[in-house]
Structure 1
Amino acid sequence: MRKRTLKRSLTGFWWFTLAFLYLPLAVVALFSFNASNSAARFTGFSWRWYERLLGNEEILSAFANSMGLAIVSSTVALVVGCLIGYGMYRHRHRKLGWLIVLIYLPIVLPDIVFGISEMAFFVQVHRLTGFLQPGLGTMIIAHVTFQIPFVALIVYSRFVGLDPTLFEAAKDLYATPIKRVIHFMLPTIKPALISAFFLSFTLSVDDFVISFFTAGPESATLPIYIWGAIKKGISPEINAIATLMIAAVAIVAAISLIFSRRRQA
């Protein structure tokens, strides 16, 4: 009897937690289809706010900036982070505690501190050299810097899970370093690379604080556009943008989860 009561209590707590997490998102999605301009009362179902998005040049420009920023920064972070992750694995028996701290620092550092430091650095470099003017270029660099640790740790965890004798077997079969990379390492860690890319992509699309401090006047992303528009009040159009972002992030997260499960299998 006690076990059944405990099980029901835990089940109820589970559903309460899910409702607490996702009901606000459901409300945003519902009001994105609101027929009226009201953000507090649902009067009917309509697609007009999504139709208005397709004709809004500012939103389309912000969307293009977000996608371009996410794709480029995730690709660069994937390459650099993969090399760092492999280096951590190769030298894992050495005393490299300071390197682990440097890898974890961008993850645990508050976004606002990271964003302000990036902005101050870019401003000083631009003042002294004329390079790194705030814009998409500085945003890409900033996003790469906080994406690299996630990629490096995912790749490192994948290498640690491999049997070390596999590397020796590849050498015994006279595989050159390039062949070992192409025919052994990359296929083996491919699920980790895909998961790391999608995680980096999601973090980039979702980021606001770091993007806000490193953006230029012509490089606003969707989160920055939403922040600027919401100061005038929440409208169904903002809800529509948020709903599309929620759907995009959910799809990317689902794809990443699928590849992660395949990797574990």
Structure 2
Amino acid sequence: MSQHLTPPIRRALLLTSLPVYILLYAPLALIAVFSFAPAPGGTAAGLHWYDALLHAPNVLAALRRSLTLALGSSILGTVLGTLMGFGLSRFRSRARSGFAAALPSLIIYTPIIMPSLVFGISELIFFNLMHNATGLFAAGLLTMGIAHVTFQAPYVALVVFARMAGLDPNLFEASHDLYANGRQSFLHLTVPVIRPAIIGGFLLAFTLSIDDFTISYFTAGPGSTTLPIYIYSAVARKGISPDINALATLMIATVIGIGLLQYGFTRQKDRLAVPRTGD
């Protein structure tokens, strides 16, 4: 498509998109540049503030909590999201129309389109009510993990659903003709084919969890400070400092790296796609 664009149109598109990219990435680049600020009393830029992070117990503790939260919630969110996406694809009734047909998709889309602030407050109210009624669900990593799973699973479901939508439905009929029951068909046909989508969904869920602040802030408790919450508290307490820039730079690099992995795995669905009958 781009080969048919005339040079004036290409230049116009470049002039239009370039300011957008600058606005998107210039702040991130500035944070990275400022993270190499000289040490106190020094004049040369270096890795002093990165080294200081490695010897900051509060930062390391927040990092462990963030990784524990992200890994645990992503695994559970991927399992639930995969089942949701599979169910939405395989058991959606084509005979229904109107609201009844759109209800399953609406259930999945609602946590995605809902503002994080509203979602976090609703989770806070829910866990407070549950704790007052049962004594369970005290604010901490458990409540944060449950809250993260509730917004991770829909994203995974959409990734898996998009992969399932590209499959030939006759494949499942063929597996039944070969005497495979529902469990065998799911384990030996569906899972291998949608494996790139599952891995991509897991990486997406991990990325969403590792840099989430709003929902984590409302569902956190004493001793459950994650990296985003730590950064917010540090900025509110002492303002922007080089060590915070260094920590933010590491988080940006991590998210970008995971995002590239997620993109690579989801792109495999195009290379490994099973052609439809008659294609």
TM-score normalised according to structure 1 size: 0.94
Residues 32-47 of structure 1 aligned to structure 2 (within 5 Å): 32-36=35-39, 44-47=44-47
Residues 108-147 of structure 1 aligned to structure 2 (within 5 Å): 108-147=113-152
The corresponding residue for 2:227 is: 222
The corresponding residue for 1:53 is: 53
Point out where structure 1 has 5 or more consecutive residues left out of the alignment.
none
Q: Deviations over 1:37-86 (max 9, x none)?
A: 69xxx953111111111111111111111111111101101111111111
**1:140 offset after TM fit, Å?**
0.2
2:210 and 2:54 mapped to 1: Cα distance? 19
- 219-228 or 166-175: which moved more? 166-175
The corresponding residue for 1:23 is: 26
Number of residue pairs aligned between Structure 1 and Structure 2: 261
Residues 96-115 of structure 1 aligned to structure 2 (within 5 Å): 96-115=101-120
1:37 and 1:202 mapped to 2: Cα distance? 34
The question of whether the paired residues in 2 share the 8 Å contact of 1:37 and 1:235 is answered with no
**1:20 offset after TM fit, Å?**
1.6
The corresponding residue for 2:203 is: 198
| Structure 1 residue matching 2:192: 3-state secondary structure | helix
Matched, 1:234 2:271: no
**1:181 offset after TM fit, Å?**
2.1
The question of whether the paired residues in 2 share the 8 Å contact of 1:112 and 1:209 is answered with yes
2:45 and 2:224 mapped to 1: Cα distance? 33
Q: Which amino acid aligns with 1:257?
A: Y
2:40 and 2:219 mapped to 1: Cα distance? 33
Residues 145-224 of structure 1 aligned to structure 2 (within 5 Å): 145-224=150-229
* Alpha-carbon spacing, 1:257–1:223, altered in 2? closer, same or farther (3 Å): same
The corresponding residue for 2:251 is: 245
1:252 and 1:43 mapped to 2: Cα distance? 34
Point out where structure 2 has 5 or more consecutive residues left out of the alignment.
272-279
Q: Which amino acid aligns with 2:28?
A: L
1:157 and 1:3 mapped to 2: Cα distance? 34
Aligned CA RMSD, in angstroms, stands at: 1.7
1:55 and 1:36 mapped to 2: Cα distance? 15
Q: Deviations over 1:209-247 (max 9, x none)?
A: 000000011001100000000011100000000000000
The corresponding residue for 1:86 is: 86
**1:12 offset after TM fit, Å?**
2.7
Identity %: 47
TM-score normalised according to structure 2 size: 0.89
2:220 and 2:23 mapped to 1: Cα distance? 33
The question of whether the paired residues in 2 share the 8 Å contact of 1:69 and 1:136 is answered with yes
The corresponding residue for 1:5 is: 8
The question of whether the paired residues in 2 share the 8 Å contact of 1:37 and 1:236 is answered with no
Q: Deviations over 1:80-100 (max 9, x none)?
A: 111111111122224442222
Q: Which runs of 4+ in 1 moved over 3 A?
A: none
**1:6 offset after TM fit, Å?**
2.6
The question of whether the paired residues in 2 share the 8 Å contact of 1:119 and 1:213 is answered with yes
The question of whether the paired residues in 2 share the 8 Å contact of 1:35 and 1:45 is answered with yes
- 147-156 or 185-194: which moved more? 147-156
The question of whether the paired residues in 1 share the 8 Å contact of 2:81 and 2:153 is answered with yes
